[in-house]
């Protein structure tokens, strides 16, 4: 299935987890990709796998801090030039931090907002001119189940993801008549790089009984990043042509 033949995609957070899995899924379906991440080492892993799978000629990589406005203003036009245009933007980059809310430093709260919410906005703003000239353009943003359901000790993360979700609705309305679709994925219970080593900053005295509510109903434990990548590929292809201004929850029934 080559749903992405001729489609040009820019993906952030592409050096690990769901972003990395999405790069490989879209390459496998014939797309051309610019993979961006703040970690050069992760991008090398992404590129090495693409080379092993015979897709190196359709992949470019870019080291990018999405919270740096000047860097985004340079990187996005470079990516568009390398691809010869832009049809899909996938904003997978983000960080997860945890703490008691009453002990959360303002700098830590602002860091999460700066990367997750402001960084997503900057990528969208700089990509929109090229997307609006693209073919069946799509923006796929990353919300989280934490945007709609209680995730303890993660108030900053939840706030950032709720903002992304609301911004996606506004984007879909504002640019829908120009042919742009904007959708969110809201993953939960995914074994990504963000969660594999535990939640950074989780208090030692955290009430772990609160996390019982976050257990997938399917009884199979956490899913792999490929599970989300497959949904993103659907949303960014013609199979998702009638989906916009909404979020797709991918959590194994954790929040039924």
Q: Which has the closest alpha carbon to 159: 106, 204, 208?
A: 106
153 labelled catalytic: no
DSSP 81-150: HHHTS-SEEEE---------GGG--HHHHHHHIIIIIIHHHHHHHHHHHHHTTSSS-EEEEE--GGGTS-
Catalytic member of 4, 121, 142, 157: 157
Q: How many CA atoms lie within 13 A of 60 on its CB side?
A: 16
Helix ranges restricted to H, the chain: 17-28, 40-52, 69-83, 106-112, 119-131, 155-175, 225-236
Q: Which has the closest alpha carbon to 7: 137, 129, 123?
A: 137
Would you call 126 exposed, middle or buried from its count of C-beta atoms within 10 A (0-12, 13-18, 19+)? buried
C-alpha–C-alpha distance, residues 151 and 189, integer Å? 12
Bridge-based pairing state of the strands 59-63 and 138-142? unpaired
Q: Give whole-number Cα distances, 147 to 160, 162, 187, 238, in Å.
A: 8, 4, 10, 27
Catalytic residues: 157
């Amino acid at each position: 299935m080559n749903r992405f033949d001729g489609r040009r995609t820019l993906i952030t957070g592409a050096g690990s987890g769901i972003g990395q899995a999405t790069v490989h899924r879209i390459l496998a379906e014939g797309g051309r990709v610019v993979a961006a991440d703040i970690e050069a080492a992760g991008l090398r892993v992404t590129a090495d796998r693409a080379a092993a799978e015979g897709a190196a000629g359709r992949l470019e990589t870019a080291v990018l801090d999405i919270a740096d406005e000047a860097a985004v203003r340079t990187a996005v036009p470079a990516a568009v030039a390398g691809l010869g245009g832009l049809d899909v933007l996938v904003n997978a980059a983000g960080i997860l931090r945890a703490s008691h809310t009453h002990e959360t430093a303002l700098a830590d709260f602002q860091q999460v907002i700066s990367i997750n919410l402001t960084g997503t906005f900057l990528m969208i703003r700089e990509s929109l001119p090229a997307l609006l000239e693209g073919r069946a353009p799509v923006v796929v943003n990353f919300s989280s189940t934490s945007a709609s359901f209680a995730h303890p000790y993660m108030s900053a993360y939840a706030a950032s993801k709720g903002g992304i979700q609301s911004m996606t609705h506004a984007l879909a309305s504002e640019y829908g008549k120009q042919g742009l679709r904007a959708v969110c994925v809201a993953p939960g219970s995914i074994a990504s790089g963000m969660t594999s080593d535990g939640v950074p900053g989780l208090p030692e005295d955290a009430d772990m009984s609160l996390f019982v509510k976050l257990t997938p109903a399917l009884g199979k434990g956490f899913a792999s990043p490929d599970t989300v990548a497959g949904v993103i590929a659907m949303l960014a292809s013609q199979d998702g042509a009638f989906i916009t201004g909404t979020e797709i929850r991918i959590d194994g029934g954790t929040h039924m």
